[in-house]
């Protein structure tokens, strides 16, 4: 639900603008406000799960997500809808790290890889199927009020999930329940402001945010530096940090895996908005037709993610390298077909390369999560998963802003058109994924060196003193 709500609302934006009288700025914030608050609280949500217990945080965040979804669906004005979406994004950001944290807690060895494989299949399907589900909901409930059911659909799903979680999710205990001593509130503020300073110009890019808010990027660097200093200072004082920086400096594979995931999402997540613009504005497809056109990617991703979870223990980083190569091949064929096939016939022609790219994508997300988190101490599983996903959310924001900006710039140029814009945007996506491939090859080399020197496969951080 939490990932689906990133993409499903894009399809409903025109209906929201007509149904509730939202202007372009408010409509943009219905989408970008959710992504913004979602990314802001991921690390804090992971830390709360580590400290207070993941089952407790899962149930609290899930209940909040259901309530805020209902508030968004019932919103009588654009202002209240934006407020509900901001709260919904925060609830989703608190909920998501508990998933990877629970997998870290409950599974070991090959079982963990299979669990992350299922998790990766859900991520791939949720990201790609949003436009299809949004189109179906609008087709069933109508353009005027159908947008409300885009939010209401979360309510029955969430209620059933809550009841199942009460019964099925183990009640593993948190270490302490004293928020003042356990939670690094200053660290939360510094990291939250740093992430905000990165994301705000990106999510406002369609409203000229990059030019107006560029000065926030150096502010983000300063806040990030202050956060790192504070976290090191907190560890030296034997207090519990929000995010121990030794995750990046002393945990084998964590820093490179996080960088690979963020870079891959720059290319992967941005293509969905580009395809939606191309099919709906360039070719005149309906929202449902547009969503169905990219379904082959979702199918390929779901199948290969489940299989990749079973193979990651045997193939390791080779699996993500193979997956990245397949994504690059699929996108390269798409670029060639754009040049060779008439626009009217392009939808069916893209089925095969989208399927190939989807198969490759399924070999990247779940295996990379497994490999990135395999050496993380269980006590830090939530915050490590939150930081990993924060990188992915920042990558999503960067990729969406860059790829959509490139498409629109080409279309607006004197000799530009939608096929040319799509082709150049796909080349930009390939550039991001090539960088991820280089990181994957480097990590493969490092793992071989580490294996040949018999370096220990995990690291244990000293717990802060009571």
pTM, entire model: 0.81
How many CB atoms sit inside 10 A of residue 31's CB?
22
How many CB atoms sit inside 10 A of residue 111's CB?
13
| pLDDT at residue 394 in the model | 83
Percentage of the chain with pLDDT > 70?
91
| pLDDT at residue 24 in the model | 67
How many whole angstroms separate alpha carbon 203 and alpha carbon 17? 19
Confidence at 456, pLDDT banded by 50, 70, 90: very low
How many whole angstroms separate alpha carbon 460 and alpha carbon 466? 18
Q: Pinpoint the alpha helices (H) of 363-459.
A: 365-373, 381-412, 418-452
| pLDDT at residue 438 in the model | 94
Angle (deg, nearest 10), helices 270-277 and 418-452: 160
* Mean pLDDT score, 395-407: 83
Does the structure show a pLDDT above 60 at 463?
A: no
Cα angle value 36/377/236 (rounded, 5°): 80
| pLDDT at residue 206 in the model | 67
| pLDDT at residue 465 in the model | 41
pLDDT in tens, 298-337: 888 888 887 887 788 788 889 999 999 999 999 999 999 9
How many whole angstroms separate alpha carbon 18 and alpha carbon 161? 32
Q: 17: which residues sit within 8 A by CB, 6+ positions away?
A: 23, 24, 27
pLDDT in tens, 150-204: 899 899 999 999 999 999 988 765 455 556 666 777 888 888 888 888 877 877 7
Q: Which domains occur in the chain, in start order? A: 4-168+242-452 (1.20.1250.20), 184-241 (no CATH)
pLDDT in tens, 93-103: 899 888 888 88
Q: What burial letters (b/e) apply to 188-210, b meaning 16+ CB within 10 Å?
A: bebbbbbbbbbbbbbbbbbeebb
pLDDT in tens, 328-362: 999 999 999 998 888 888 888 999 999 999 999 88
pLDDT in tens, 214-225: 888 899 899 989
| pLDDT at residue 325 in the model | 96
Does the structure show a pLDDT above 80 at 73?
A: yes
Does the structure show a pLDDT above 70 at 457?
A: no
| pLDDT at residue 446 in the model | 86
Does the structure show a pLDDT above 80 at 107?
A: yes
In this predicted model, which residue has the larger pLDDT, 7 or 227? 227
Confidence at 128, pLDDT banded by 50, 70, 90: low
Q: 1: which residues sit within 8 A by CB, 6+ positions away?
A: 65, 69, 92, 154, 157, 158, 161
CA-based nearest residue to 419, from 281, 289, 291, 268: 281
Q: Which H helix or E strand runs over 251? A: none
For residues 100 and 387, the answer to whether their CB atoms sit within 8 Å is no
- Cα–Cα separations (whole angstroms), residue 272 to 280, 297, 424, 435: 12, 10, 15, 20
* Token pair in block for residue 68: 């805020």
Q: What is the DSSP letter of 414?
A: T
Does the structure show a pLDDT above 90 at 112?
A: no
Q: 339: which residues sit within 8 A by CB, 6+ positions away?
A: 419, 423
* Mean pLDDT score, 261-265: 91
- Cα–Cα separations (whole angstroms), residue 343 to 285, 296, 327: 12, 19, 22
Q: Which H helix or E strand runs over 42? A: helix 42-52
Q: Pinpoint the alpha helices (H) of 142-294.
A: 146-152, 154-168, 179-182, 185-203, 209-212, 216-236, 246-249, 254-268, 270-277, 287-293
* Mean pLDDT score, 86-111: 87
pLDDT in tens, 429-443: 999 999 999 999 998
| pLDDT at residue 433 in the model | 95
Q: What is the mean pLDDT of the chain?
A: 83
């Amino acid at each position: 639900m939490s990932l689906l709500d990133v993409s499903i609302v894009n399809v409903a934006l025109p209906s929201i603008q007509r149904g509730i009288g939202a202007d372009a700025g408010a409509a943009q914030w219905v989408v970008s406000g959710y992504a913004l608050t979602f990314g802001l609280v991921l690390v804090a949500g992971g830390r709360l799960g580590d400290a207070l217990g993941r089952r407790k945080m899962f149930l609290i965040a899930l209940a909040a997500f259901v309530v805020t979804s209902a508030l968004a669906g019932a919103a009588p004005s654009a202002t209240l809808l934006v407020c509900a979406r901001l709260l919904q994004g925060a609830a989703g950001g608190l909920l998501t790290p508990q998933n990877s944290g629970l997998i870290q807690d409950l599974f070991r060895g090959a079982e963990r890889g299979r669990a992350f494989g299922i998790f990766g299949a859900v991520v791939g399907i949720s990201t790609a199927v949003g436009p299809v589900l949004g189109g179906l909901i609008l087709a069933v409930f109508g353009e005027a009020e159908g947008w409300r059911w885009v939010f209401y659909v979360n309510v029955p799903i969430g209620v059933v999930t809550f009841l199942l979680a009460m019964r099925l999710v183990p009640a593993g205990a948190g270490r302490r329940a004293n928020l003042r001593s356990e939670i690094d509130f200053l660290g939360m503020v510094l990291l939250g402001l740093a992430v905000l300073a990165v994301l705000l110009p990106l999510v406002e890019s369609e409203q000229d945010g990059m030019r107006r808010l560029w000065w926030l990027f150096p502010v983000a660097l300063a806040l990030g530096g202050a956060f790192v200093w504070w976290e090191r200072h907190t560890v030296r004082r034997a207090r519990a940090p929000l995010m121990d920086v030794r995750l990046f400096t002393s945990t084998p594979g964590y820093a490179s895996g996080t960088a690979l995931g963020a870079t891959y999402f720059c290319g992967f997540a941005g293509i969905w908005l580009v395809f939606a613009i191309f099919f709906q504005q360039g070719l005149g497809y309906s929202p449902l037709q547009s969503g169905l056109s990219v379904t082959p990617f979702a199918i390929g991703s779901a199948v290969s993610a489940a299989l990749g979870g079973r193979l990651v223990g045997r193939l390791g980083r080779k699996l993500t390298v193979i997956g990245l190569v397949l994504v690059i091949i699929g996108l390269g064929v798409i670029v060639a077909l754009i040049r060779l096939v008439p626009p009217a016939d392009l939808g069916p022609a893209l089925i095969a390369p989208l399927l190939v790219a989807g198969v490759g994508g399924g070999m990247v997300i779940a295996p990379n999560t497994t490999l990135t988190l395999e050496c993380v101490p269980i006590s830090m599983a939530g915050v490590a998963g939150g930081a990993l996903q924060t990188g992915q959310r920042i990558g999503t924001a960067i990729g969406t802003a860059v790829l959509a900006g490139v498409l629109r710039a080409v279309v607006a140029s004197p000799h530009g058109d939608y096929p040319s814009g799509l082709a150049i945007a796909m080349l930009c996506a390939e550039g991001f994924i090539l960088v991820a491939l280089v990181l994957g090859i480097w990590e493969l080399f490092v793992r071989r060196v580490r294996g040949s020197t018999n370096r220990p496969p995990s690291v244990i951080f000293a717990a802060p003193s009571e």
